[in-house]
Amino acid sequence: RVAAGVPLRPGARRLLAELERAEVPFALVSASPRAVVDSVVAGSLAGVGFAFTLSADDTVRTKPHPDPYRAAAERLGVGPGACVAVEDSPDGSASAQAAGCAVLVVPSLLPVEPAAGRYFAGSLEEVDLGVLRGCAPGHGQLL
């Protein structure tokens, strides 16, 4: 099923293209195994200019632990406090927030509870570079 392609959420491709045009580095941080991440990146996300992808296989502990986002920030060469994470799940939001990232939540299947430092959008169609930058002044990398 994954090899056949995973449908992207509305607005995702446009937002990723905007980040590329603005030369803002961004990474994919996933709790899925490497094989799944690679399949999705080769299929639905083909041609997207991720700086890198990080899977559940790349850290000892995965989401909701902060390790994945800490590792991603380190690979980007910045502290987590310089990053904005776009998340859609409770575990992902908790992981990014515990790592010290600003978090923009675009909920999907499971509801994400409001918390200090979490920003919300109803859809990726509502999100652009300005919205991401507004989540936390001084945050410049995107995960």
| Domain 12-142 CATH assignment equals 3.40.50.1000 | yes
pLDDT in tens, 61-78: 999 999 999 999 999 998
Instruction: Read off the pLDDT of residues 4-57 as tens digits, 9 standing for 90 and up.
Output: 568 899 999 999 999 999 999 999 999 999 999 999 999 999 999 999 999 999
Host H or E run for residue 84: strand 83-87
**DSSP class of 118:** E
What ranges do the domains of the chain cover?
12-142
For the entire predicted model, the pTM comes to: 0.90
Quote the CA–CA distance of 65 and 133 in Å, as a whole number: 24
